[in-house]
Amino acid sequence: MGATLSGAQYIEVEGACLRTRSAGDGPAIVLVHGWALDLEMWRAQIDLLADRYRVIAFDRRGFGRSSGVPGLEQDVQDIDRLLESFSITRAAIVGMSQGARVALRWAMKHPERVSCLVLDGPPAEGWPQSVGTKEIPIDEYRRRIGVDGVDAFRSLWLQHPFMKLHTGSPRAHTLLREIVVRYPAQDLLNEPAQSPLLSERDLLSVNVPTLVLSGEHDSPQRRSIATRMARTLPDARLEVLRGAGHLAALDDPNAYVRALRDFFSSQPAMAAGAVM
C-alpha cells in the first residue's frame, strides 16, 4: 500500500499506479466506474454506504489520477491486486457502464469470491452487435483529439446523451465537469487492445446473485440491454431508477443507495459479521 494523499491511497500494480479510496467497515463493496469517469462519481455512495459496509473505489488504470494504459483485462487483474492490498477475500462488485464489463469478467474469473454483483447501465455483452447501434463514436472522438486536442473532445463528450444529468443539483453538475476534465484520454490516444464481447454462454455461467440497474431516461439501447441481461443471467433481477439517466449514481444518489441496500440486505454474504 502506497502513501495516503488527500484521502486517497495509491497502490502499485504491474504497469500502473492506482488511486483508491476506502471507507467504513463490514462486508466489502468494490465500485467500478464507467468510461471517461473516475472514482469521484461514487463520492455520495461511499459516504452513504460506509455506515454498514467497507466501500472501496478506484480510478481504473489510465483514468482519473491512475497511471497506465487502460484495458479491461488489466482492470480485472487490478481488482485482484486491490483486494489483496486491502486484505479482502470476498466482495460485492458494482460496475457502471464500461465498469459493468469489468465486473462481469471478474465475476466469471472468481465466482467463489463474489458476494453479489451489480451491473448499472451495462453495454451489450452476450449478443451480436446487431442488438443496437454503436452509441459512442470512438473513431470520431479520436479524430477530434488529433485535430483539436483533448479539451475539445472533453467538451464534446459532455454533450453526449450519456452525460446528461437529470438532477437539478448544481453540485452534481460541477462534479461531473470536474471528473471529465480529469479524464486523460489515454485509451483514445493509445488505442489499447480490445477485449472481445462475452458470449451468451459466458453470461449463463455467471451464477451469482445479480442486480441490473437501469436509469429510466437512459438510452433505449441500454434499457433494452439491461432488460435482456436480467433475463439471461441465471440469478438476476432488474430495477429501473425513476427520473435518472445513464449517470444514475449522480442523478439520485439516495435512490441509488436504497436500491443497493435493498439488494444487499437479501444476500447472506453481505450480512454483518459475514467472513470477507
pLDDT digits (tens, 9 = 90+) for 125-146: 877 654 445 799 988 999 999 9
Which of 48-62, 95-109, 132-146, 220-234 is predicted least confidently? 132-146
Q: What is the CATH number of the domain that holds 167?
A: 3.40.50.1820
Please give the mean pLDDT across all residues of the chain.
92
**Mean pLDDT throughout 171-190?**
95
Q: Does a structural domain hold residue 275?
A: no
Q: Using one digit for the tens of pLDDT, what is the confidence trace for 41-67? A: 999 999 999 999 999 999 999 999 999
pLDDT confidence bin for 17, thresholds 50/70/90: very high
Q: Does a structural domain hold residue 276?
A: no
Residue 206, pLDDT above cutoff 60 = yes
What pLDDT is stored for residue 4 in this prediction? 36
What pLDDT is stored for residue 6 in this prediction? 43
What pLDDT is stored for residue 129 in this prediction? 54
What pLDDT is stored for residue 70 in this prediction? 94
pLDDT confidence bin for 3, thresholds 50/70/90: very low
pLDDT confidence bin for 192, thresholds 50/70/90: low
**Mean pLDDT throughout 152-159?**
95
Residue 252, pLDDT above cutoff 80 = yes
Q: Does a structural domain hold residue 134?
A: yes
Q: Does a structural domain hold residue 62?
A: yes
Residue 116, pLDDT above cutoff 70 = yes
Full-model pTM: 0.94
Q: Does a structural domain hold residue 56?
A: yes
Number of domains the chain is built from: 1
Residue 106, pLDDT above cutoff 90 = yes
Q: Which domain holds residue 38?
A: 4-270
Q: Does a structural domain hold residue 86?
A: yes
**How would you class 158 by CB atoms within 10 Å of its CB: exposed for 0-12, middle for 13-18, buried for 19 or more?**
middle
Better-predicted residue by pLDDT, 200 or 19: 19
**Mean pLDDT throughout 156-176?**
97
Q: Does a structural domain hold residue 196?
A: yes
What pLDDT is stored for residue 37 in this prediction? 98
The percent of residues above 90 in pLDDT, for the chain, comes to: 84
Nearest to 58 by CA among 26, 101, 23: 23
pLDDT confidence bin for 249, thresholds 50/70/90: very high
